[in-house]
Amino acid sequence: MAHSLLVVGSIALDTVRTPHGEAPDVLGGSATYFSVAASFLAPVRLVGVVGADFPDEFRRVLESRRIDTAGLEVVSAGKTFRWVGSYEGAMNEAKTEDVQLNVFGDFKPVIPPQFRDTRLVFLANGSPITQAAVLEQVARPDLVVADTMNLWIETQRDALLALLRRVDGLVLNDGEARMLTGEHNLVAAARKVLGLGPAFVIIKKGEHGAILAHRDGCQTDGPTTRWVSSLPAYPSLEVRDPTGAGDSFAGGMMGYLAHEGRYDFRRLVRAMAYGTVMASFAIEDFSLRRFERLSIDDIDARLRRYHEMLAF
């Protein structure tokens, strides 16, 4: 029986252009990608906000999965968060062409009473003050993991550092890790993050995979110096839309951890593998379309191939 898993973050209407096409007004947002990816592995409790313009069809995408939408607030006088972005060339970085925060700009997450006993909490990218406000509303989670971004590292550094002392894990990308720590070397950056509070950190490198550093390391099978792992991305021949890859990674990772209910080094490496596989599906089509035609058998098959690829 999986432990309960809560995510708080954005729900968006995205318009995305890549070399493979354009998708106008599609379902997006960090909490959306996270919860759909995680829902393949564990039930998810979602807290987010949308406007009156949020299509029923998108609500059904969430409700058709194991996602409890009791925390999905609808502001009838407002509009849903909108993001317009494009990718070029190697598609490593999104170019934001327009952002309208709309109802997400005033988002004060309210955790429904029945969600307050949640065991695992994922604080998707948001202001560290908002993220901290979520923690005030949950009773005694086993595991709290936060995402963050450049904006908060630059503008709310103190609030972010205060938050880091209250979380078990931090997930961020390579540029953010360098910005937060001042270290070029990502292994050194990861070690420095551990000094800021979290028991573990995962640095996402997009097409280059991810690095895990864990305070306790792999104590069961060797010296404590074994505190780092690094996994490659799943090799994808065609990337149609990288949007949501990082949140799908986090969803796969947290979904697996919720399923396991234990969070040691070895399980975190396996959680990264699940995250890697979920991200590899996310980028095969625009929005969450690939997830809409995905089965747990597809996930298991790809995890086996990924495992084989790493066997030597």
Residue 213 beta carbon to its own copies: minimum distance, rounded to whole angstroms:
8
Q: Which of 93, 236, 264, 289 binds its own copies (CB under 8 A)?
A: 236
With contacts defined by CB under 8 A, name the span among 35-43, 50-58, 106-114, 228-236 that binds its own copies. Answer: 228-236
Identity of the residue, 157 or 208, whose beta carbon is nearer to its own copies in the bound complex: 208
* Eight-state DSSP code of residue 96: E
Q: Which of 2, 16, 47, 91 binds its own copies (CB under 8 A)?
A: 91
Identify the sign of the CA torsion 130, 132, 135, 137: negative
User: Residue 166 interacts with its own copies (CB under 8 A)?
Assistant: no
Which residue type sits at 282?
A: A
Site for its own copies in 238-267 (CB under 8 A): 238-239, 266
Residue 188 beta carbon to its own copies: minimum distance, rounded to whole angstroms:
6
Token digits of residue 278: 């979920």
Q: Which of 17, 65, 205, 290 binds its own copies (CB under 8 A)?
A: 205
Q: For residue 150, how many other CB atoms are within 10 A of its CB?
A: 13
User: Residue 222 interacts with its own copies (CB under 8 A)?
Assistant: yes
Q: 207 and 238 in contact (C-beta within 8 Å)?
A: no
What is the distance between the alpha carbons of residues 225 and 114, in angstroms, rounded to a whole number? 41
What is the distance between the alpha carbons of residues 188 and 227, in angstroms, rounded to a whole number? 12
User: Residue 201 interacts with its own copies (CB under 8 A)?
Assistant: no
Q: Which of 98, 136, 221, 297 binds its own copies (CB under 8 A)?
A: 221
- Residue environment code for 69-84, b if the CB has 16+ CB neighbours within 10 A, otherwise e: bebbbebeebbbbbbb
Q: Which of 12, 72, 121, 186 binds its own copies (CB under 8 A)?
A: 186
